Chains A and B, each alone.
Chain A
Amino acid sequence: MSERDFEQLVVPHLDAAFNYARWLTKNTADAEDVVQDASIRALRFFRSLRNEDARAWLLTIVRNTWYGRLAKHGTDRVGSDEPLTDDRREEALSPEALVLQQQTVAHVQEAVESLPADFREVIVLRELEGLSYKEIAAIVGVPIGTVMSRLSRARERLLARLRPAIADGGRA
């Protein structure tokens, strides 16, 4: 791997790295710090990147960097092993409710941010990065089955929380 390769392979994924970090940290300043630290590490370990996907590789480093900082400062709830209460509702989402208003986006953003970190990250990696279960499993460092169950539980939570908000938005 030459020096040029770092720029060609890794730098194009800065947005992905920043977006992931921003959703993990929930604020811009911390996300910048995390990505900056992660890039330094990426640079250092660049030679260890072989034929892997550079984006997944960089996201893994971002994640490790963030967890490292978290272990040090302990500012977020990382665990999500609390039992999922069955608070699903029976009403369906109406198509009109899907009219995306800023308000709705804000609600959704809030709902995603309120998820525990390990639910939040699978949602972000799946829905915003469009990564496969396999890629997410590699980044998060868990089996594919765990990715699937976290996604499922994350979505159940989001649905439970967003149904009323969307219904209100639809009426407004």
Chain B
Amino acid sequence: MATTTDKRITCDHCGEPCTVHPVKWGEKMFCCEGCRTVYQLLDRSGLCDYYQLNEKPGLSHANPSHREKFAFLDDVKMAAPFILFQDGQETHARWYLPQMHCSSCLYLLENLHRLNPGVITSRVDFAAKELTVLFDHHRISIRQVAELLTAAGYEPYVSLRDLGGAKPASSRNNIYRLGIAGFCFANIMLLSFPEYFGLGASEEGLRGVFRELNLALSLPVFFYSAQPFYRNAWSGIRNGFLNIDAPIVLAIVVTFARSVYEVVSGTGSGYFDSMTGIVFFMLAGRMLQDRTHQRLSFERDYRSYFPIAVSVLKEGKDISMALPEIQCGDTLLIHHGELIPADGILTRGQALIDYSFVTGESLPVPKEMGELVYAGGRQTGAAIEVLVVKEVAQSYLTQLWNRQEDKKVEHSFIHVLSRQFTFIVLAVAACAAVYWWAYDPARIANAVTAVLIVACPCALLLSSTFTNGNILRILGNNGLYLRNARVIENISTTTHIVFDKTGTLTLPGDHVLTYKGRPLEPTEQRAIAILAAQSTHPLSKSLAHHLDKAEPCRVLGFKETPGKGTEGWVDGTYVMIGSRRFVTESRAGTADTRVYVRLNEDYPGYFRYSSHYREGIARWMHVLRGQYSLSLLSGDNDRERSRLEGWMGEGSRIFFSQSPEDKEAYIRHLQRRGEKVMMVGDGLNDAGALRQSDTGIAVAEKGNSFTPASHAILDAAQIGRLPVFLRYCRMAGRIIIASFILSIVYNIIGLSFAVRGDLSPLIAAILMPSSSLSILLLTYGSATWAARRMGLAISTDEKNHARG
């Protein structure tokens, strides 16, 4: 195969290799009609700059969706979720276009008005992968806009979820809060300097002005910027436990109250700079930690996968209907490549259903009329009709998702610590109070408030938020996207890793073919390839791809028997390919997947299909084997057991033909034995297991592919670096613990001043930022250094460089 790659023609639109029947148009070569149509469309409108900006930016157009797909947009009610604004003249509509990936896309999508004059303007939000189109609805309908986008290669992604109400508005409040806190903090700091450096008695009036200004500046911080802390602390208390925000709120409130008292009574300058500083740094840390991957969805449910509408046959007519309105007894028309949205009975057509997403079985399953088909399968081949027997919400697949999740007990290190911390601080304050009550009761209030001010866990918290934020960022740059910071801790305590096979260890939809039998002549290979290229069956497609000899040639008497095989005359040779039973009429079954060949009256042999494993599995599996216990759960049959055993080692636990429930039960079984389980999977069949496990990592083929709900998303190309990621997360845990120890040392220093009752605002103002900053630098530096030593990319530039 490798020898032919350099002379292979690639499509001028999408860059995919043209194996079968390249389509010519002028000078250009395309892999399929779809790509040519897009090129023609752009060429006609003078948009060929699209091809200048990036090399082969197009998207493969080999699997066009059927024509009626966007018919549902003609229905005002169903189009509503996509419309932002509408008046008598124009409409603003917004779509999610996950295919958007480069500046060419940007160029094309913002020049839509040149493709159709009905479009007034269009604007891309690249980070959100959204396109807002402003169009004149007298000249072009919303459906036509969607179809125009589809024709240009950017089919809007619409799912059932879009019907479920408005998306949460992206909140900018935290940015405002941070900005205001920073502004007030810096100004209060400046206004406090004169006092720290000493003002003469003659400037008594000026001092008063400074203090009052400080008080005024601290109000927005106290009442606006710090709100999230109050809210978190309150929700913690309402649920009956003290979370880490409780001591922060205590410190903020006590500091503010004492400062206001000092200023009003004229006894001191207060600790406004410390208070605003705490709020500012804490907000910054939180932001860094939460900001990371807001564009990735870790919360997908079945609705994200399901189409928004399906074609329903009613009184002989084909109408588009919203999915929730489907009822038992309706007849659905499912086209090639569409998802079956509800359990039903096949009433017409030959179904060849790809269940890989639901069950993990890698090959499509043929179904005869009258058989039950489950929701979640994808039809390949001609359109079929399905009589619905269960509503969407009751279907097998939907049930898988909706199963109640076991409530997990919060036992994160930081939560345990925060609870202890609050009690320790209160105890120290109480001791100080008791001590001063005995010796000098006038200083009680002073000492107690000072303890509460200085013992704010902000250094403690800052170290973890900043370290986690940095680690999330570095891992994200390397292709592992974590849902939140707690996942780092869960990864670092993992003891057992469970893998899925199909799509996780193997490349989805790709097979390795080996030929068994008498050697084939080149002309015979060509004849087989030509026949195989005519068929839509995935096995035929990979066979044609494997032989790579197809060329335009007429096949006479072409006949495809779905689920069995294909036959036809190529250059006077009668060729037949298909299952053993179909081709050789033998009744013997086969354990593995084979395609038999017949040429005239001759049976030269068969092609054996085996999964195409990702590169380097043996190497990284070997590394993991030494550190963790490993298991493999596959929905597939056990034809590749020996190979997997070789990689995972003797005595490793490998189970085949596992249903989604089996997988989940297995994880639960491991957890009951006290194991911390990490599940690495990809499909819907792993959804339950991913959710049940302590860390569920969903493997995604491309950045825009859809993964089930999980704790982390791993770029499939980076799966070989899993051992490094695991090691890095363990290192992160150690860095956080080290910084905690350091911050406790700082706290002890601060407390030693505080209990004596002589914490001056100057000491507080120096101690607070310096402890926070030094810890920040330490954790940030060590996390970056560790990443560099392990060969992880630190910045996005390096990532691009490393990937070439």
- Tell whether A and B belong to one assembly: no
